[in-house]
Amino acid sequence: MSAIDAAVEHYLAHLQAERGLSTNTLLAYRRDLTRYTAFLRSRGRREPTDVAAPDVEDFLLAVRAGSDGRTALSDSSAARIVVAVRGWHKFLLLGGVTGVDPARAVKPPAPPKRLPKAISVHDVERLLDAAGLGEGPVPLRDRALLELVYGTGARISEAVGLDVDDVDSTPGRAAVRLFGKGRKERVVPLGAFALDAVESYLVRARPTLAGGSTAGSPGVFLNTRGARLSRQSAWAVLRLAAQRAGLAGAEQISPHTLRHSFATHLLAGGADVRVVQELLGHASVSTTQLYTMVTPDTLREVYAASHPRAR
């Protein structure tokens, strides 16, 4: 293993142990840094101290154009890979491995701000109803899963990561404890519809699903083998429900769609953006503020209804 490769492994071990990043995030860091170190080797760089600022700048140009022999990246993907590279070089500098940070001045491309996609309350209701169609424990589980995701704004990884002990069904204070990025914990209220669906599932369906398990998974949402439901299976639950509901653009609806809808509907109902930030677990309010962006049609409607000289 070269010195550069060893330094990458040391950094990934640090991210796992000290920052508690998820397996999927660590895999993304590994892919990005593997592409970077391959580029460095092609330029004859063997030691971390061999890397200079032009190497980092040229790498960014290469990944955006695909001139390093791999797929060209969009602005958002290029920004992600630059974050990984900058983090690695900063780690090396702080650890005394290098004396300078060649990536410090390299800025990731700013991706265009896009409005999060949300669906209407009516379409959400159709989706939830479709998830619960059928007999047996699986429809009860699927309805409870999607009710919880929409009712709390949870990321799908947070929902499938829930343990039974993370659910507090105390009347008047029902809530779930979610663990977000970096294992950051937050407690989110559980609304009446979501609570009813989750309790119905826990009482009437989960014991059946858990019956075939010898490990006794603590997870709330189980598959038919009694193990914790995976993210991929949760995606499949939503996709099938969207198709059954006959929603327009069903193939584009993802678990994040329900999270976006949760935030959008809260803000439309008058919720303060800071409160929504806390519920979503966003580190910065600027991320949450994307949900406050409105369409030109909405702007015209509000202007026409509100301004004294609009009519």
- Supply the CATH number for residue 32's domain: 1.10.150
pLDDT greater than 60 at residue 294: no
Domain of 138, CATH number, reads: 1.10.443.10
**For 41-76, what is each residue's pLDDT tens digit?**
999 999 999 999 999 999 999 999 999 999 998 888
* Same-domain status, 88 and 155: no
* Same-domain status, 132 and 217: yes
Catalytic site residue from 155, 206, 228, 260: 155
What value does the mean pLDDT of the chain take? 88
**For position 43, what pLDDT does the model report?**
94
Catalytic site residue from 181, 186, 239, 244: 181
* Residue range of the domain that includes 16: 3-94
* Same-domain status, 237 and 279: yes
User: Does residue 307 fall inside a structural domain?
Assistant: no
Task: Confirm whether 282 is a catalytic residue.
Answer: yes
User: Does residue 239 fall inside a structural domain?
Assistant: yes
pLDDT greater than 60 at residue 107: yes
User: Does residue 113 fall inside a structural domain?
Assistant: no
Asked if residue 43 lies in contact with residue 72, where contact means CB atoms within 8 angstroms, the answer is no
Asked if residue 223 lies in contact with residue 230, where contact means CB atoms within 8 angstroms, the answer is yes
Which tokens belong to 58?
């040229």
DSSP track, 148-209: HHHHHT--HHHHHT-BGGGEE--TT--EEEEE-GGG-EEEEE--HHHHHHHHHHHHHTHHHH
User: Does residue 204 fall inside a structural domain?
Assistant: yes
What is the residue type of 286? S
Rounded CA-CA distance 42/33 in Å is 14
User: Does residue 102 fall inside a structural domain?
Assistant: no
User: What are the beta bridge partners of residue 167?
Assistant: 176
CB neighbour list of residue 96: distance below 8 Å, 6 or more residues apart: none
**For position 22, what pLDDT does the model report?**
84
Catalytic site residue from 45, 126, 259, 265: 259
Catalytic site residue from 126, 206, 265, 282: 282
**For position 292, what pLDDT does the model report?**
66
pLDDT greater than 80 at residue 232: yes
More confident position, 13 or 215: 13
More confident position, 303 or 105: 105
**For 155-197, what is each residue's pLDDT tens digit?**
999 999 999 999 999 888 999 999 887 778 899 999 999 999 9
User: Does residue 311 fall inside a structural domain?
Assistant: no
Catalytic site residue from 36, 150, 201, 291: 291
Task: Confirm whether 256 is a catalytic residue.
Answer: yes
User: What are the beta bridge partners of residue 177?
Assistant: 187
- Residue 17 CB-density burial (10 A; 0-12 exposed, 13-18 middle, 19+ buried): exposed
* Same-domain status, 188 and 45: no
Which tokens belong to 111?
């991706």
**For position 184, what pLDDT does the model report?**
84
Q: How many degrees, rounded to 5, is the angle at CA 50 between CA 47 and CA 53?
A: 135
Which tokens belong to 271?
């919720």
* Same-domain status, 267 and 163: yes
**For 4-23, what is each residue's pLDDT tens digit?**
999 999 999 999 988 888 88
Structural domain count of the chain: 2
